[in-house]
Amino acid sequence: MKKNFFVVAFTVVAGGWWIAARPADIVADLALTTEQVQQTAFTNVTSDHLTATYSQKVRQLAKNIPDGSRVAAVQAMGAVVRSYVSSADFKNRYQNWLKNKYGVSDDQTRNAAQAQNTSMNDVQAAYNQQAAMVQNAFSQMPPATLAMMIQSQIQMVQQEASNAEGQEKTAKTQELTELKRLQALSKTKPDEFKKQYVAYSNKSLQKQMAQNRGNVEGELAEQKAQAADYQKRLAEYKTAPGLNTALKQRLNDFIALAGSVDFDAQLTKRGSKMEFVNPEYRNKPDNWKLLFRMGKEPVQAARTFAQNWVKDLDSQK
């Protein structure tokens, strides 16, 4: 069963029992930093258990505060935390946490949509467009420029052929022979060379596409599978509780927990420890026992603070 939450404003104070020096300076009075208070608030809004780890110094400072100041401390710390939770910084931080939790981002959303809407016909069309652009660019070049290009191409294919074996070596050798034939033609019939070289380049591009089609289909299928998985995460993210919903849930958990504490429960000493006379109370959650130890007055003040906060959240609908 999920633990009840003693969260937000109340966990910050609970981490060191209850303090109440000057309400306006409660963070400093507890020897805490603003960053510590903010992190504790954020952790408790986004986790499913109480987290309020403070140093022994903080706890000792809290224990030294007289009982009569505890209610003021609850209200002061509550105001500090509520102010932060209501800030744009906290809201942005929560949204970023939610995105990280479900692994979503704007870039991934765009990429997933593109993958889902892409077919092999689209890939082929894009490749054909690219080939047409290359062919058009070549057709605009003078034969002399193409002749310089083919020289570099010959050198590259020679290197590839020397490192190849078997059928690949045979194919590279045939390609090299054709390139050298075209190179010789460039010296005698430049215009014919250009015509044949442009046709050769287009044929090579189409052949390369055909050879790679299997790999492209596999990659596209994988991208579509990943996109489908991403869309599931995206749907979960979109239906996840917003900040106000999550905050209300944790506040209501605390309200219910605080309302269930029997502050009149009797204790008895067993060995070096005190335990509840009622055996049912001995099995209560740690947070229930923590509220019991804090006492009725501050806990009721915290409960009232939480109830008022929930009412304000409800009014924002």
* Residue 17's pLDDT band (cuts 50, 70, 90): very low
- For residues 261 and 313, the answer to whether their CB atoms sit within 8 Å is no
Q: Express each pLDDT in 182-232 by its tens digit.
A: 999 999 999 999 999 989 988 888 888 777 777 888 888 999 999 999 999
CA 184, CA 199: separation in Å to the nearest integer?
A: 16
Residue 109 pLDDT: 94
Contact predicate 147/186, CB 8 Å: yes
Amino acid 284: pLDDT? 94
Compute the residue count for the chain: 317
At 58, is the pLDDT very low, low, confident or very high (cuts 50, 70, 90)? low
- Cβ neighbours of residue 187 closer than 8 Å, sequence gap 6 or more: 147
pLDDT tens readout for residues 126-172? 878 888 888 888 889 999 999 999 999 999 999 988 898 999 899 88
Higher pLDDT, 308 or 290: 308
Most confidently modeled range among 32-36, 76-80, 305-309? 305-309
pTM of the model: 0.65
User: Where residue 14 falls among pLDDT bands split at 50, 70, 90?
Assistant: very low
Out of 104-113, 265-274, 286-295, least confident range: 286-295
Q: Given this model, what pLDDT does residue 63 score? A: 63
Q: What integer pLDDT is reported at residue 258 of this predicted model?
A: 92
pLDDT at 106: 93
